[in-house]
């Protein structure tokens, strides 16, 4: 066979390159679609997980998306509508593609359906993997589940939209709280504008609030003026470089720190943090 015969004809070559380009285009499009899907598969940082869930990273590694927690929540005895005698929807939902949550994982939205802080916390012991950690909600004294130990998030009051902060009497969230006067209190304050009325402001105790969201569910404003956020979102973080002088653990923590990230070298960068924190340094 001659060299001429081995060469594909111009039209065949064109077809070949067209097909190649088409396939490459499809590959790129597929990649883009997958990237979009993967992005969507990530949970919003505002996602609220079931009671006793591990920290988000560990939870995602451990949860096998079996849905047993959601099923237990649905089947809990208190979940029957007294009027119709029918089972109500569960607090815990398994995320679908349209939810802003990793697909197939359990979550809840208190404004729709809050957690009712069931005495026996039935959603937790059914978890087969420990993604919901029963020990974190078990009272050490009587070895029984203790709903007060739940930590799904922290209720935060938007003082701009809470009408109690305007001076209008409202205690819907306070009354809805299963830990009334412990997790949420009403604080009296004089209304300087009128001089004769009092404010009754809801104030959340961050050490007692479980994040059940019964307050958010009960809030009377159009968009809830009290709402539950994951703790790490609701609370600020001081930053690892702040050290409590009175805390031995903190003191130990900075001893082990070396200036790994420092790229310039001067008198100061030769010091360890406790050198200039505790003794001062000359510049
Ligand atoms: S404790 Fe909350 S999430 Fe668990 S079963 Fe009861 S209502 Fe559902
Ligand atoms: S029961 Fe446990 S493993 Fe199953 S979906 Fe719920 S959290 Fe995930
Ligand atoms: S989320 Fe609201 S109702 Fe639940 S414990 Fe906290 S303050 Fe009370």
Residues 143 and 161 in one domain: no
Tell me, yes or no, whether 60 and 143 share the same domain: yes
Asked, for residue 118, whether it belongs to a domain, the answer is yes
Segment among 170-179, 187-196, 256-265 with least mean pLDDT: 256-265
Give the end of a domain, one of 195, 219, 235. Answer: 235
Q: For 165-174, 203-212, 258-267, which range has the lowest pLDDT when averaged over its residues?
A: 258-267
Q: Which of 75, 81, 179, 87 is nearest to 122 (CA)?
A: 75
pLDDT tens profile 13-42: 556 555 555 655 555 555 544 544 544 568
What pLDDT score was predicted for residue 261?
Answer: 62
Instruction: Tell me how far the alpha carbon of residue 182 lies from the centroid of ligand 2, in angstroms.
Output: 30
Show the ligand 1 pocket: residues with CB < 6 angstroms.
50-51, 72-73, 76, 91-92, 115-118, 121-123
Domain at 209, CATH number: 3.30.70.3270
The answer as to whether 31 is a domain residue is no
The pLDDT score that the predictor gives to residue 262 is 59
The residue behind tokens 């009377």 is: 220
- Ligand 1 center to 161 CA (angstroms): 29
Last residue of a domain, one of 216, 235, 254: 235
Domain that holds residue 224: 153-235
pLDDT value of residue 153: 98
Q: Are residues 133 and 182 in the same domain?
A: no
Ligand in closest contact with the CA of 211: 3
23 belongs to a structural domain: no
On whether both 177 and 196 belong to a single domain, the answer is yes
Q: What are the pLDDT digits (tens) for 71-82?
A: 999 999 889 988
Q: Which residue's alpha carbon is at the smallest distance from atom 6 of ligand 3?
A: 209
* Residue 121 Cα: closest atom of ligand 1: 1
User: What is the C-alpha to C-alpha distance for residues 43 and 129, in angstroms, rounded to an integer?
Assistant: 20
In a domain, 178, yes or no: yes
Give the ligand whose atoms come closest to the C-alpha of residue 73: 1
For 112-136, how does the pLDDT look when each residue is reduced to its tens digit (9 = 90+)?
999 999 999 999 999 999 999 999 9
Residue 34 lies in a domain: no
- For residue 213, give the ligand nearest its CA: 3
Domain boundary among 147, 179, 197: 147
Return the residue whose CA atom lies nearest to atom 8 of ligand 1.
73
The ligand 1 atom nearest the CA atom of 122: 5
pLDDT value at position 3?
A: 45
Domain identity same for 173 and 102: no
In a domain, 11, yes or no: no
Number of domains in the chain: 3
Supply the pTM of this predicted model: 0.75
State the chain's mean pLDDT as an integer.
Answer: 85
């Amino acid at each position: 066979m001659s060299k001429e015969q081995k060469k594909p004809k111009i039209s065949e070559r064109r077809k070949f390159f067209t097909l190649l380009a088409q396939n490459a285009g499809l590959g790129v499009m597929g990649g883009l679609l997958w990237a979009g899907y993967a992005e969507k598969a990530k949970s919003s940082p505002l996602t609220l997980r079931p009671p006793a869930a591990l920290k988000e990273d560990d939870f995602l590694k451990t949860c096998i998306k079996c849905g047993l927690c959601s099923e237990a929540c649905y089947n809990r005895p208190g979940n029957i509508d007294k009027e119709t005698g029918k089972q109500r929807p569960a607090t815990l939902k398994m995320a679908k593609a349209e939810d802003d949550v990793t697909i197939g994982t359990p979550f809840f939205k208190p404004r729709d359906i809050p957690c009712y802080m069931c005495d026996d916390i039935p959603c937790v012991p059914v978890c087969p993997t420990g993604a919901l950690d029963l020990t974190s909600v078990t009272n050490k004294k009587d070895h029984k589940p203790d709903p007060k130990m739940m930590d799904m998030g922290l209720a935060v009051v938007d003082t701009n939209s809470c009408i109690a902060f305007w001076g209008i009497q409202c205690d819907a969230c306070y009354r809805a709280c299963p830990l009334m006067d412990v997790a949420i209190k009403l604080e009296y304050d004089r209304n300087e504008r009128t001089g004769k009325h009092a404010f009754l402001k809801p104030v959340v105790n961050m050490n007692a609030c479980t994040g059940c969201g019964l307050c958010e569910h009960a809030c009377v404003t159009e968009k809830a003026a009290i709402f539950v956020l994951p703790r790490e979102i609701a609370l600020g973080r001081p930053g690892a470089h702040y050290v409590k002088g009175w805390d031995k653990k903190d003191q130990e923590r900075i001893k082990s720190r070396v200036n790994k990230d420092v790229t310039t070298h001067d008198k100061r960068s030769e010091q360890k943090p406790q050198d200039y924190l505790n003794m001062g340094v000359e510049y």
